[in-house]
A and B are shown apart, each in its own frame.
Chain A
Amino acid sequence: MRSIFSIALIFSTLRLATPLIWASHGGMFSERSGVINIALEGIMLAGAFTAASVTFYAGNPWIGLVAGIAAGVAISSIHAVACIRFNANQVVSGMAINILMIGLPAFLGGSLFASTGSTPQIPKENLIPWTPVFLAFLLVPATWYVLYRTPFGLRLRAVGEKPEAADAAGVSVKLMRYSAVLISGALAGVGGAYLSIGQSSLFTRNMTSGRGFISLAALIFGKWRPVQTMLACLLFGFTEAVSIQLQGVRLPSGEDIPNQFIQIIPYVLTIIVLAGFIGQSRAPRAIGLPYQKER
């Protein structure tokens, strides 16, 4: 058992939590301004695919990272226009983006690499395995500062809680929401890029495998607050890292722990923590409600 709790486990936790932290903090901006962002999964996929493709062609991961951010912003702008300009149902729009991003990389991959949705492998020298991890932990205080200590953050939160009041005070609800959704696209784009050019070395179809939704869970779990959300991401990362380390470990009695049991650990732990320790999680009051000026 000694071998389970080691330095390797800590690093594994940090690596597994990194994409979740980026995406959940992205979601925080959007949701704090009142726009549900269920599209995180799709935005991450866009970031991951673009980052891997551009890194492959440019031979430089930093250009790839910037391209991944740009792709995240571009995809989230669809969500922003649908939800803010056209007052569409935010859940439907987000879901449409998620499904779109299952198909779009496959389609683009066909013309770029004669493949169906995966990119060629990127050489080790062109990967950025640790920088996004490091930056993720700078992102948390930065997000906190922006949300709670700047006029922009105050307006953003006001728009998400009581848009009428913010509007009356002269804040442009639409402008605030547009910028919030685009920021969320940029951050989730980094999370996706980390998956394809940091943690692994290529894009494969649907490679986020639910991380966008887990980020969303972490966001709710963390009550839409930066530090708590980071802790939630670390918890999810930790449970997954533990489940990885536990596989193949012998019990003192000499038997292996069954894999099926190990695979359920992250989910069981989540339920226990959610039910037992968190208490009520309150969403921003105006979340999901399109804002229309009274005429």
Chain B
Amino acid sequence: MRFRSLATLALLCLLVSVLLTPACTTQSRERDDKSKLHVGIVFDIGGKDDRSFNAAAWQGVKRAEKDFPIVLRDVEPGNPTSIEPAMRAFAERGYNLVIGVGFAQSPIMERVAKDYPNVNFAIIDGVIDLPNVASLVFMEHQGSYLVGMIAARTSKTGVLGFIGGMDIPLIHRFAVGYTEGAKAVNPNIQVIQNYVGVTDAAWNNPGKGKELALAQISKGADIIFTAAGNSGLGAFDAVEQYGKQNGRAQRFVIGVDSNQNGVKPGFVLTSMVKRVDNVVYQLVQELVAGRFTGGFHVYGLKEDGVGYAMDQFNQELISPDTLKQVEEAKQKIINGEIQVTDAMKK
């Protein structure tokens, strides 16, 4: 019996230590240079190498770390419950700026930011009405409208696909903008909308992302826009499966957040980029210059906060005519001549 209780105890210790790991990844501040500003970043469940949203935020802070004298620490929470301790750990150690990546962190940050009024916070994709929090919001519907136009003009079947990660208002914003852009080009176009799931596991399920993409393709979709983090990468595999004819892919995918054109070259029509990297970089820049301000910061086409990615991987895939039309629409959106519906404002 003694053996048994000992073994149980050992296993419990293992369990507890593993549970605590995320909080321990923030190294002690004692070793850090105290004359420098401290920036802490807490990622979303997707993790910083999702080649998409979190990856963009990570690039931004990394670039800032290179250019400015700051100390940078990051935490990737293994599950939603470890977000709050990580955020509090940064605040408790007197970090100058704590960045939360993703809408899911806003209620948590609201609690933490109230308790530490002297620490600056920034939330990406969320809105918190506190003086020490900068809420960084993107107008994804504007960028999605443009890629919707590109998709509708490139599609041969007249059927488009959309794969969202979690079924939440923020992702509906992508879907609605995309559909509107597509319908502006071709009012009869059909857009099939699918979501991977309703929990945060939906961002990390490439297998299901692929199955959704295959199902959409079997219904005639030839261009699929993904806004699903790691799950979206499954759709990349699905379109690749259909191969190329005469050097041109038969089915295309549209990437999201980061420029994903190079993930499967030739199969990615374009990417709806959300310049989280630039925005995060600017944020640190403002902090260093002592100009950090709380409140709303909105980034749309006008501010270059969203857009579509063109590079050597996709310049052959999109016709110059299409590009011209899309650029015109972009100007009209900036001027306010075209109003894209924002699914989060109702």
In the complex, how many angstroms separate the beta carbon of A258 from the nearest chain B beta carbon? 10
Q: How far is the CA of A3 from the CA of B193 in the complex (A)?
A: 16
Contact with A along B223-250 (1 / 0, CB 8 A): 0000000100110110011000000000
Q: Are A207 and B167 in contact (CB under 8 A)?
A: no
List residues 181-223 of chain B with CB under 8 A from any CB of chain A: 192-195, 197-198, 201, 204-212, 214-216, 218-219
B194 touches A118 (CB 8 A): no
8 Å CB contact of B211 from A6, A15, A96: A15
- The distance from the CB of A89 to the nearest CB of chain B, in whole angstroms, is 5
Q: Among A30-38, A60-68, A177-185, A193-201, which stretch is in contact with chain B?
A: A193-201
Q: For A8, what are the chain B residues with a Cβ–Cβ distance below 8 Å?
A: 214-215, 218
A92 contacts across to B, CB distance below 8 A: 8, 11-12, 15
The complex places the Cα of A192 from the Cα of B230 at a distance, in Å, of 17
One of A97-105, A151-159, A164-172, A218-226 contacting the partner? A97-105
| CB–CB B19/A248 < 8 A | no
Q: Are B18 and A103 in contact (CB under 8 A)?
A: yes
Interface residues of B in 62-79 (CB under 8 A from A): 76, 78-79
Q: Contacts A86-B3, A102-B79, A124-B241 known; A200 to B207 CB distance under 8 Å? A: yes
CB distance from A107 to the nearest CB of B (A): 8
A199 pairs with B207, CB closer than 8 A: yes
Q: Smallest CB–CB gap between A271 and chain B, Å?
A: 17
Known: A124-B237, A247-B194, A248-B192. A93 touches B210 (CB 8 A): no
Whether A96 and B11, one on each chain, are in contact in the complex, defined by CB atoms closer than 8 angstroms, is yes
Q: Are A207 and B204 in contact (CB under 8 A)?
A: yes
A290 at the interface (CB under 8 A from B): yes
Tell me, rounded to whole Å, the shortest Cβ–Cβ distance linking B176 to chain A: 14
Q: A6 — which chain B residues lie within 8 A by C-beta?
A: 218
B-side contacts of A118, CB under 8 Å: 47, 49-50, 230
Contact between B4 and A88, CB atoms less than 8 A apart: yes
Among B12, B204, B219, B233, point to the contact of A205 (Cβ < 8 A). B204
A199-B204 in contact given A92-B12, A96-B11 (Cβ < 8 Å): no
Question: What chain B residues lie within 8 Å of A102 (beta carbons)?
Answer: 18, 78-79
CA distance A261 to B193 in the complex (A): 14
Q: What is the minimal beta-carbon distance from B1 to any residue of chain A, in angstroms?
A: 8
The chain B residue with its CB closest to the CB of A117 is: B47
Q: Are A86 and B78 in contact, with the CB atoms below 8 A?
A: no
Which one of A93, A96, A248 has the greatest number of beta carbons of chain B within 10 Å? A248
CB neighbours (8 Å) of A245 from chain B are 215
- Chain B: minimal CB distance from A242 (Å): 10
Residues 15-40 of chain B, each 1 if its beta carbon lies under 8 Å from chain A, else 0: 10011010000000000000000000
In the bound complex, CA of A207 to CA of B209 (Å)? 11
Query: Could you tell me the distance between the alpha carbons of A262 and B49 in the complex, rounded to whole angstroms?
Result: 30
Residues of A within 8 Å of B48, CB to CB, are 116
Evaluate contact between A244 and B215: CB separation under 8 angstroms: yes
Contact in complex: B208, A244 (CB < 8 Å): yes
Enumerate B257-311 residues with CB–CB distance to A below 8 Å.
263-264
CA distance A118 to B233 in the complex (A): 12
Residue in B closest to A86 when the chains form the complex, CB atoms: B7
Query: Which of B15, B234, B241 interacts with A99 by CB under 8 Å?
Result: B15
**What's the Cα separation between A194 and B112 when bound, in Å?**
42
Contact partners of A96 in chain B: CB under 8 A: 11-12, 14-15, 18
Contacts of A88 in B (CB 8 A): 4, 7-8, 10-11
**A260 close to B (CB within 8 Å):** yes
Instruction: Map CB proximity to B onto A15-49 as digits: 1 under 8 Å, 0 otherwise.
Output: 11000000000000000000000000000000000
Beta-carbon contact of B204 and A206 below 8 Å: yes
- Give the chain B neighbours of A124 by CB distance below 8 A: 237, 240-241
Nearest residue (CB) in A for B195 is A259
Chain A residue with Cβ nearest B218? A8
Set of chain B residues within 8 Å of A200, measured between Cβ atoms = 206-207, 209-210, 233-234, 237
CA distance A82 to B6 in the complex (A): 10
* Bound CA span A199–B212, Å: 12
Q: Is A228 an interface residue when CB atoms closer than 8 A count as contact? A: no
- Cα distance, A207 to B230, chains bound together (Å): 9
A116 vs chain B, min Cβ distance (A): 5
Among A12, A209, A259, the most chain B Cβ lie within 10 Å of the Cβ of A209
| 22 contacts across the A-B interface (CB closer than 8 A) | A82-B7, A88-B10, A89-B8, A92-B12, A100-B14, A100-B18, A102-B18, A103-B18, A106-B47, A117-B47, A124-B241, A195-B207, A201-B206, A204-B204, A207-B230, A244-B194, A244-B211, A247-B194, A248-B219, A259-B167, A263-B167, A290-B4
- Across the A-B interface, give the 3 residue pairs with the lowest CB-CB distance, nearest first: A86-B7, A88-B7, A200-B206
A124-B237, A206-B204, A209-B208 are known contacts; what are 8 more A-B pairs with Cβ within 8 Å?
A99-B15, A103-B78, A118-B49, A204-B50, A204-B206, A205-B204, A207-B206, A263-B198
